[in-house]
A and B are shown apart, each in its own frame.
Chain A
């Protein structure tokens, strides 16, 4: 009976396990085997380069820019997405009706095609767009949105915050709905105003949701691709260059599969270390305040 149950469990889990093997483990092993070779996937000869790909990657200005830009994006996107998604969740939570409708509505940008959004943003920020015409009429000039390094970084960050806020708001919303109403009622009886209630009840009890969103948002910054690919191509002067753009460029434009795999491995290491560090910091911060 026990054996049958076990078998049933394996059977139910098998589609996931199978897909994980085919689409994750095998490619991972394949990538790891590539990092020691200079190879374009089709040449009959693979040149063994030892750690040469790693040496090249860690001294490459392209990889360096991708590394630094990720933290630049993170500094804007993580606070932006946390604040925006929390605000959205609070708004939806306090809506008198149609909560589900609005929750789904805010989630839609997450489902929208990044390329389509990129093209719309490109149109909105083009030199002759109504926005820029308006700015030129008022201020005499308009920003070079996608050609100035600072503006380009801000535009891409804003797009990502907009895209993911609705999705993360659902996590916050689930957290908000899990807070017992009695706590607010008791606090109100004790004379706590809405702001105190938010600070003393809502925020601490949202800690698990906050933690989840934070980790997801940090990880997200290491996977930025579509927005800079469509809008800036990583420019100007690498100011919006990312890990994924570099992997794409090396593997699919320069046909350097071995080196591309090496950059992907470095990206994975950077992601892992960054997420781990941020988790540690947030966990110790939460532990000091008794959040769980």
Chain B
């Protein structure tokens, strides 16, 4: 009898061992809707994969999500994987050997095909040829126009070139002296990431997406950059651009143009239901210099972030996380769920063409369609490890002095290039 008991217990232990749990943790972005998406995915995955326990929690964002990740790695409590990492911060993590490449898993190519990211993924390749970040979403930055006010001024569609924008500004000021064309108070603030939403947007449009920095070299299109700076300066001189804080601008029609990401729409729906796509506002790619060919596509900046796998996790955890991520991203229905829950567009080549997405967007979120169409022409952030200082110096050494008239656009641009030379060594 005792022998039987021992055998039974042994088998029980072995049986439990056979479905031993691999525990993995995933940090979602500190945005409730993204957390909801990942929780839904984790629950669905665990229901069919009993050997894995996935804990989803939002990443700490005090003082910033990047600092939260660094603190966790330094303290040895990093999750198995997290989202919300852009290429600039990713390169810092790669430099510190804190993340591991996804493409070392044998099924990598399968995932690239299944998710349809063959083109998108090219921009995410690191200098060592590896892919450390799987892009989750790409928010192309577009320009929103108050078409209701533009119609009052005799416009049926928004201006395309700088001269047309300035002409619109003149008409606007003539009819509404208290209104401004564009509110951009952050243009005078050196905070590095604010450049993503002003200079970068206009620069990539003017330069056909030419990178500002490649590796350790400045590869910017000087002519385009100077033209953008001159445009900003002219807007300010003509009092069309307001750089002082304004309680409300575009939403209440005090300004008629704004650089916009799709994450604004849920907030608008709640707080400004009168803002309706096609009726009160429309979206276009950023304005371009007058010499920009009308038939050419217009590039823009992309706020793009993705998922990384941390080196601190065990090989078993890394494998389990890879299986989970692969399961999430290989099914287009999951990406559709992402759009529905977060209101952001997944980083896929076919998001603007696949009927699965376009049908939903057309019916439910037509304002997302221009974003989907622009993904191919959206340039992700600078991937240099010194991205913070590079972008901070752009505000300090170039944009602010140009706006205040201390430097000409040409000298301001050269000042920025000179200021970052030592950072690129």
Contacts and interface: CB of A to CB of B under 8 A. Distances in A.
Interface stretch (B8-16, B135-143, B227-235, B239-247): B239-247
Contact of B191 (A145, A233, A254): A233
Given A127-B246, A128-B246, A43 B189 contact: no
B13 to A, nearest CB: 38
A212 B192 CA distance: 40
Contacts of A80: none
A126 B96 contact: no
How many A residues touch the partner, as a band? 20 to 34
B326 interface: no
A146 interface: yes
Nearest to B406: A237
Interface string B54-87: 0000000001101100110110000000000000
A122 interface: yes
B95 interface: yes
B67 A126 contact: no
B400 interface: yes
B237 interface: no
A279 interface: no
B92 A40 contact: yes
Contacts of B185: 147
Contacts of A253: 64, 66-67, 192, 388
B247 A41 contact: no
A248 B62 CA distance: 12
B49 interface: no
Contact of A146 (B190, B244, B248): B244
A248 B400 CA distance: 22
Contacts of B97: 43-44
B188 interface: yes
B95 A147 contact: no
Nearest to B95: A43
B96 A234 contact: no
Taking chain A's interface residues, is the majority helix, strand, or loop, or is none over half, making it mixed?
loop
B29 interface: no
A292 B188 CA distance: 50
Contacts of B63: 248, 252
B204 to A, nearest CB: 23
Nearest to A129: B247
A42 B94 CA distance: 11
Contacts of B67: 251-253
Interface in A94-149: 122-123, 125-129, 144-147
Interface residues of B, number: 32
B400 A42 contact: no
A235 interface: yes
Given A122-B245, A127-B246, A129-B247, A40 B96 contact: yes
A109 B131 CA distance: 50
A232 interface: yes
A236 interface: yes
A252 B95 contact: no
Contacts of B189: 232-233, 235
Contacts of A235: 188-190, 400
A255 B389 CA distance: 11
Nearest to A254: B388
Contact of A236 (B66, B188, B389): B188
Given A41-B70, A237-B400, A127 B92 contact: no
Contact of A126 (B71, B191, B192, B247): B247
Given A41-B70, A237-B396, A128 B254 contact: yes
Most buried by A among B98, B189, B243, B248: B189
A175 B298 CA distance: 69
A145 to B, nearest CB: 8
Contacts of A42: 70, 73-74, 93, 96, 98
A123 B247 contact: yes
Given A146-B245, A253-B64, A234 B190 contact: yes
Most buried by B among A44, A145, A236: A236
Contact of B247 (A128, A144, A232, A254): A128
A123 B246 CA distance: 8
A255 B69 CA distance: 11
Interface in B170-224: 185, 188-192
Contacts of B400: 235-237
Contact of B246 (A43, A126, A237, A255): A126
A112 B9 CA distance: 61
Nearest to A136: B178
Interface string A244-266: 00001001111100000000000
Contacts of B73: 41-42
B70 A40 contact: yes
Nearest to A124: B247
B415 to A, nearest CB: 13
Most buried by B among A43, A122, A251: A43
Interface string A146-158: 1100000000000
Nearest to B312: A42
A44 B96 contact: yes
Interface string A27-61: 00000000000001111100000000000000000
Contacts of B66: 252-253, 255
A234 B189 CA distance: 8
A156 to B, nearest CB: 14
A255 B245 contact: no
Contacts of B191: 233
A276 B73 CA distance: 39
Contacts of B71: 41
Interface of A: 40-44, 122-123, 125-129, 144-147, 232-238, 248, 251-255
Given A125-B245, A253-B67, 20 more contacts: A41-B71, A42-B93, A42-B96, A43-B97, A123-B247, A126-B244, A127-B242, A127-B244, A127-B246, A128-B248, A146-B244, A147-B244, A232-B189, A235-B188, A235-B189, A248-B63, A252-B66, A253-B64, A255-B70, A255-B92
21 contacts: A41-B71, A41-B73, A42-B70, A42-B74, A42-B96, A43-B95, A122-B245, A126-B246, A128-B254, A129-B247, A147-B185, A147-B243, A232-B189, A235-B190, A236-B400, A248-B63, A252-B64, A252-B67, A253-B67, A255-B66, A255-B70
